[in-house]
Structure 1
Amino acid sequence: MLPHLGLVGLFAGLLVVSCQQEFDKTIPDTANNDSVNVTYGQPKVLYVVVDGMRGQSVQNLAPPHITSLLNHAIYSWVSLGDAETAKPGANWASLFTGVSKTKHGVLDNDFSNNHFDIYPLIYKRIKALDSAMNIQVFTTSQVFKDHLTDDTDASELLANDEAVKSAVKTALGDENAGFITAHFSNPNAVGASVGYDETKPAYKEAVLAFDNELGEMLEALEARPTYNQENWLVVVTSSIGGSYPITNDDNTVFSNPVANTFTIFSAARYRTRYISKPFVGNRLRGDFVQFQGQRRAILEPDAEGTDNNALYDLDSSAFTIELKIKKNKRIKNIYPCVLGKRPEWSSGWPSNGWVIFLENDFWQFNARGTGDGNQVKGGVLADASWSSVAVVGVIRDGERYIRTFTNGAFNNETNIQGWGNLNADAPLSIGYIQGQGHGEGDVYVADIRIWKAALPDDVIAQYACETTIDENHPYYSYLAGYWPVAGDTDGIIRDEGPFGSHLTMTSDDFSYNEINDYLCAPTTEDLGQSVPRSFDVPTQIFTWLKIARQESWQLDGRTWLDQ
C-alpha cells in the first residue's frame, strides 16, 4: 500500500503545480491594486424604501417594473419587518442602522429614545470609510428627514411620491451620484384608508403608481453615460406591510400582514435567487382539552383499586418525559404547571416531585428530591402552534443529569446527582397543581410519553415531531405511559401504553376544541432568520460597498448570497 500512496502524493503535487500555473495565466498582474474599479467597477447604491406595500399583494399583482428586476436579483415576497410595530418608524430605523429595535430604541414613529449614538445610521459608517461618497436622500416624511438623514450630502423633504421620483431622476443625472435613498409613502396612506390588498382598486392603483415611478428611476439610472462602467446595487423594499384579514392563518409571523414586506436586491452580476416562506412544520389535528385556569386531569386508582402512580415517580433512575404543548398567543406565563407529579407547586418548591412548567415564552423542568432540587431550562415555545418538549434523566459515569430538548434539539444539561430520590406521594397530573406564587395556565397538551429509560439524543430527534408511536419504536418496551389526549371527549384521558393508566378530569367545566395547527414550527426568531429582515439590508449594502462589518458595530443583519 505504501508505494501506491507515494504515487498518489506525487500526482497530487503535480496537479497542484499545474493548476497553479493555469490559474496564474488567467489572472492578469494588477500590481497588487485592490481598487474595486479594477474588476467590478465603482460600487454604488440606489436604495428605494416604500411604506405600506404588503409582500403578498405585490407578488399577486406582479407589477412590471418590479418584476423586471428579478432576473438578476435576490428577492423575497415574505421578508419581515418588526412583528409588533404599527407604524413604519421602527422599521425605518432598522433599515438604516442594521440592528433591531431592542438596540436602536425606536418604537413606532417615536425617535425620542433612539440609540443612534451607539448604532449610527449606515451613512455615518460609509462616510467614515469613504468621505468622498456622495449621499443624497429624498423623502415625503418630516419624521424621516428629521431623524434618518444625518451624515448625508443632501436631503430633501418633498410634497409627494411623484416629487420624490422626479428628484431622484435629477440626482441620477449627476455623474458624482454614489448613494441615493428614495422614500415613498403613498401606498401606506391609501392602504390605511381602504385596506392593504390588491383586491381593493385604490390600493392596487397606488401599488402600480409606485411601480411606474420605480420604472422611471430605473430608466434614468440606465441612461447614465457611465452606467456600464459602474456597479449599481438596486434595493427595493417595503418598510412595513399593512393590516388585512388573513384567510390561511398558520399562527406564525408569516400570517402577520403588518410584518409582511418584500425585499429585492438587484444587480447585474447577481444570479436569481428566490427566498420563499420556509417549512413551518407538520400539523397535529384532533379534539383537545383546553387546560385553562385550574383545570386538571389526574391519575386515580382504577375500579379494582389498582394505583399506577408509582410508575411515574422518577426516583433515582433513568427516565424520559415527552409531550407536545400548544400555548396561547402572547399570554404572560408565570410558572403555570403543564404536567407533573407533586403534591404542591409553590414558590420555593417546598414539596418533592417534578413538574414541567412555563415561564414567559419558554418552558422549564423543576424537581426536588430527598437531597436538593432546582430547575433546568428548556427552549422557546412557538406561539399558538405545537412544540415538542422532552426531559431526559440520564446516568453517566455514575452521575445523574437532566437534559432538555425542544422540537428534538438539545437545550440544556444539569448535574442532579445531589438532588436525591425524586419520588412524591401525589398523583400524576396534567394542568393545574395547587400552590402559591404561580400563575394559571392556558395550554393544550398532547402525545404525552413517559419512559423508564434515557432515550438517546438521536431517538429524541427522530421521534420528537411524530404524533404517534407503536411497537416499531426502538425503546417501546420501556414505555410506562402514552396519552395521545386527542379525541378523549368524555372527561377521560386514556393511556394507550401497556398499563392503562387513564387520567380523569377533576371538574366538569371543560370542553374539547378541534385543533389543527403546526407541530415543531420554528420560533419567530428562527423563522425570521430564514428570510430577509429589515435590519439585513444595511449589512447587504456594506458587503456591496466592500465595507467589512466590524464586530464592535453589533449588527443584527446578515448578508444574502445569490446561490
Structure 2
Amino acid sequence: MKNLEKNTATNVFRSLTAAVCLAFVLLFGSSCNKDFPNTLNTNYKNDTTGINNKTRKVLYIIMDGVRGKALRALNPPVLAQIVKKSIYAYDGLTDYQTSTMTNATAWSNMITGVTSDKHKVTTENFSGNQIASFPSLFTRFRQTNPNLRSVSIAASKIFNDNLAKDATVTLNYENDDAKVKDGVIEEFKKDDAGIVVAQFHSAEVAGAASGYTDASTNYINAIKQQDTYIGEIMTALQGRKTFASEDWLVVIASNKGGVIPAIPNNPDKTVYADDTRNNFIIFYNPRFVSQFVPKPDSDKLPYSGAAPNFTGTNSAFSFAKLPNATIGNFGTGDFTFQCKIRYDGPASNYPSFISKRASFTAGVPGWVLFLEGDIFQLNMSQVGQGNTQVSGGTIRDGIWHSIAFKVWMNGSVRTVTMYKDGVKGLDKVITNVGNFDSPAPLTLGGNFISGEGGTIDLLIKEVAMFNVAIPDAAILANMRKTTIDATFPNYNNLVGYWPANEGGGSTLADLSGKAGNFTMSSTAKWKTFTDFSPNLDPTVSEATYMVVPNNVDIPFQIYTWMGVIIQPSWQLKGKSWKPNYTDVRI
C-alpha cells in the first residue's frame, strides 16, 4: 500500500509538472523543450483521413534569405518544436530552372504557384511581369471565396504592391519585422481572420550585408529573432477565442537562400548545391505526424540509359557506320570530336573503336581512335605522309569517360590536342599541313580489314562533331555534361550529334539534322546501364527535384487545404504533400 501511495504521489507530481510546462509552452512557445500543444480532444474514435468539421484557415510566414542548411545547423528552438508536427525539408528548392535568383522571383513562385517561365518575374522591380495571367493566391481566393478575409503583412512594400493587390487588407512595415509580427498578432484578434500572410525581411538584409552562412553573427541573430517572433505568433494563434473550432495550416518557408563561399571539390553539381536556391519549407498542423523530406543523394546520381554495345575479336567486330562518307571530312579546316565511352573489354592492342579511315597503313588518310593496352590513342595520316600518333590516357576500367580531340591551327602550325574527363592532355604538332579527308565512313566500333587486332567490348554515347576548334576552356567546362543542347558552346557549329539513346533498333539518329543516321551491324546490340561515374554529371530529371518541396508547391498545398478546386487552366507547377495524421479525431 505504501508503494502504491508513493507511486500515486509521484504520478500526481509528474502530472502537475507537465501541466506547468504545458502552460509555459502555451505562453512562450518554446519553454520546457516540448512540442506546441496538440489541443485536440482525444476521447473520440480515430480519424486518420484529415476530415473534420472545423473551419480551415492558413497562416503563411515567409522568411526571406534563410538558407535551409543554415537553419538546420542553427536549429532555433521554436521551429525545432514546430517541425515535430510538420511535413518539412531543409533542402527545399526555390526554383530549379531560373538562372538568376532574386527576392521578387522567389516571392512570385511561392505566391502564384508557377515559375518565372510563366510569371516572367526575373528582376527585383517586377518589370515585365505576367502576374495578371498567373494570379496570386490572394486573387484566386477573392475569385473562389470572396467572403474569405485575406491579409498580407509585409516588411517589403514591393511585395504587397505586386503580389497582394487583391488581399482584403495589406499592411506595409518597411524593413520592420517586429511590426510585421505585431500586425499578425493583432490580426488574430479578429474572428474572421482567414488567410494571413507575413513576410519577414531582416535575415535577407543581414545575409546580403555580411554573408548567408551560419558563421555570420548578424545573419544568425536575425534568424533567431524571427524564430522568437514566430513563437509569439504561434502563442497568439493558439490563444484565439475561436481556436477550438478552427483548423489552421501553418506554412513557414524561406523565399530563397544566398551566395556563400564555394565548397572546395564539391561533388554535387546539381542545383541542390546552389545555395541561392536552398530554402526550407514547413507545413505544420498539430494533427500532423512529423515527416522529414530529405533530398536525394544528388552528388551520386547514376548515369543511366541505353547504349550500343560494340564487341568482337580480330576482324569479327560489330560496328555502326555513317552512310555518307563525306561527313567528317574537313579538309585543312579545324574540327572537334567528342563522345562518352565505357570500355569493358580486356586489355588489347590496336582494336579501333571509332574511326574515319580504312586502315592503319601510313599514307592512308583519316584518323582512328584505338586501344593500346589500357590506353586510348589517336592515329592520323595524310595522303603520302607518315602517321601522327598521340596518347589520350587510360579508359579501360569499366567506368564512363568523356573523351575529345581537336585539330586546329596554332599560329602556322597544325596541331592536335587531346582531352579526357575535364583535363587537357597532350598537344602534338602535325608534321604536314595537309588534310585528313578520307573516303572511309565514320565508324563506331570495329572497322579495319587489316591491321586491326585484339578484342573490343564497349559502349559509346553522345558522339558529336563540330566544324571549329572549340576553345580549351569550353571543352573542359562541358565534358562532364551528358547531353548537348542549345546552351552548349558552339552548338551552331555541330555537323553531327548522335546521343545513341534509342535503346533498340539498328539506327543511331543524328539530332543535328545535318549528317544523317548511323546504321548498326546485326551483331551490334543494345545494353542498358545504371552506373556512377566520377567523370560525369548526369542530367537530372525534373522528377529528381520534385522529391523535395519547391516554392511552387506552397500555393498548391494551400488551395488543397482550403478545398479550392484547382483548375487546369491555372497551369500550376506544384503538387500537394499529403500529411499523415495523428491517431485522433476532431
Q: TM-score normalized by structure 2? A: 0.57
Q: 1:421 to 1:231 in 2, by over 3 A?
A: closer
Residue 126 of structure 1: how far off its partner (Å): 1.4
Mapped partners of 1:537, 1:308: distance in 2? 56
- 2:381 corresponds to which residue? none
Which structure's CA Rg is the greater one?
A: 2
- Asked if 1:89 corresponds to 2:98, the answer is no
Of the candidates 219, 226, 245, which is equivalent to residue 203 of structure 1? 219
One-letter identity of the residue aligned with 1:548: I
Of the candidates 559, 570, 573, which is equivalent to residue 556 of structure 1? 573
Mapped partners of 1:351, 1:151: distance in 2? 69
The sequence identity of aligned pairs, in percent, is 25
- 1:176 corresponds to which residue? 192
Counterparts of residues 214-253 of structure 1 (less than 5 Å):
214-247=230-263, 249=266, 250-253=268-271
Mapped partners of 2:72, 2:403: distance in 1? 32
Mapped partners of 1:121, 1:137: distance in 2? 12
Mapped partners of 2:77, 2:46: distance in 1? 40
- Asked if 1:541 corresponds to 2:554, the answer is no
Aligned to 2:255, the other structure's residue is in SS state strand
Mapped partners of 2:177, 2:503: distance in 1? 64
Mapped partners of 1:87, 1:238: distance in 2? 13
Deviation sequence 1:107-144 (CA, Å, 0-9, x none): 13132211122111111111222111100111111211
Residue 310 of structure 1: how far off its partner (Å): 11
Counterparts of residues 343-358 of structure 1 (less than 5 Å):
353=442
Mapped partners of 2:85, 2:403: distance in 1? 42
Counterparts of residues 402-441 of structure 1 (less than 5 Å):
402=508
Do the aligned partners of 1:187 and 1:207 also contact (CA within 8 Å) in 2? yes
Of the candidates 155, 158, 161, which is equivalent to residue 146 of structure 1? 161
- Asked if 1:114 corresponds to 2:125, the answer is no
Of the candidates 78, 81, 98, which is equivalent to residue 68 of structure 1? 81
Do the aligned partners of 2:155 and 2:199 also contact (CA within 8 Å) in 1? yes
Mapped partners of 2:152, 2:116: distance in 1? 22
One-letter identity of the residue aligned with 2:248: W
Mapped partners of 2:295, 2:517: distance in 1? 47
Counterparts of residues 148-163 of structure 1 (less than 5 Å):
148-159=163-174, 160-163=176-179
One-letter identity of the residue aligned with 1:229: S
One-letter identity of the residue aligned with 1:561: K
One-letter identity of the residue aligned with 2:531: C
Deviation sequence 1:515-555 (CA, Å, 0-9, x none): x55654624x3432121111111001111101121111111
Aligned to 1:247, the other structure's residue is in SS state coil
Residue 387 of structure 1: how far off its partner (Å): 3.5
Q: 1:62 to 1:394 in 2, by over 3 A?
A: closer
One-letter identity of the residue aligned with 1:256: D
- Asked if 1:46 corresponds to 2:59, the answer is yes
Mapped partners of 2:517, 2:111: distance in 1? 55
Residue 43 of structure 1: how far off its partner (Å): 0.8
Counterparts of residues 209-358 of structure 1 (less than 5 Å):
209-247=225-263, 249=266, 250-280=268-298, 282=300, 324-325=401-402, 353=442
Unpaired runs of at least 5, structure 1: 1-25, 29-35, 285-292, 313-321, 328-337, 356-362, 368-381, 405-411, 424-449, 468-515
Mapped partners of 1:234, 1:308: distance in 2? 65
Instruction: Identify the range of structure 1 (134-143 vs 80-89) with the bigger mean alpha-carbon deviation.
Output: 80-89
- 2:350 corresponds to which residue? none
Do the aligned partners of 2:301 and 2:532 also contact (CA within 8 Å) in 1? no
Do the aligned partners of 2:463 and 2:499 also contact (CA within 8 Å) in 1? no
One-letter identity of the residue aligned with 2:69: Q
Do the aligned partners of 2:70 and 2:213 also contact (CA within 8 Å) in 1? yes
- 2:482 corresponds to which residue? 387
One-letter identity of the residue aligned with 1:559: S
Do the aligned partners of 2:65 and 2:204 also contact (CA within 8 Å) in 1? yes
Aligned to 1:240, the other structure's residue is in SS state coil
Residue 170 of structure 1: how far off its partner (Å): 0.4
Q: 1:364 to 1:204 in 2, by over 3 A?
A: same
Report how many residues are paired.
Answer: 385
Of the candidates 525, 528, 531, which is equivalent to residue 465 of structure 1? 531
Mapped partners of 2:121, 2:403: distance in 1? 32
- Asked if 1:453 corresponds to 2:524, the answer is yes
One-letter identity of the residue aligned with 2:573: D
One-letter identity of the residue aligned with 1:465: D
Q: TM-score normalized by structure 1? A: 0.59
Do the aligned partners of 2:462 and 2:499 also contact (CA within 8 Å) in 1? no
Mapped partners of 1:277, 1:393: distance in 2? 30
Mapped partners of 1:263, 1:66: distance in 2? 11
One-letter identity of the residue aligned with 2:229: E
Do the aligned partners of 1:280 and 1:518 also contact (CA within 8 Å) in 2? no
One-letter identity of the residue aligned with 1:105: K
Do the aligned partners of 2:401 and 2:536 also contact (CA within 8 Å) in 1? no
User: What root-mean-square deviation, in Å, do the aligned CA atoms of Structure 1 and Structure 2 show?
Assistant: 4.4
Do the aligned partners of 1:281 and 1:518 also contact (CA within 8 Å) in 2? no
- 2:26 corresponds to which residue? none
- 1:136 corresponds to which residue? 151
Mapped partners of 2:217, 2:300: distance in 1? 36
Residue 56 of structure 1: how far off its partner (Å): 0.6
Do the aligned partners of 1:385 and 1:521 also contact (CA within 8 Å) in 2? no
Residue 252 of structure 1: how far off its partner (Å): 1.2
Aligned to 2:132, the other structure's residue is in SS state coil
Mapped partners of 1:125, 1:258: distance in 2? 29
Do the aligned partners of 1:353 and 1:422 also contact (CA within 8 Å) in 2? no
Do the aligned partners of 1:119 and 1:553 also contact (CA within 8 Å) in 2? yes
Q: 1:155 to 1:394 in 2, by over 3 A?
A: closer
Do the aligned partners of 2:61 and 2:197 also contact (CA within 8 Å) in 1? yes
Of the candidates 189, 192, 212, which is equivalent to residue 205 of structure 2? 189
Residue 452 of structure 1: how far off its partner (Å): 4.4
Q: 1:344 to 1:256 in 2, by over 3 A?
A: farther
- 1:79 corresponds to which residue? 92
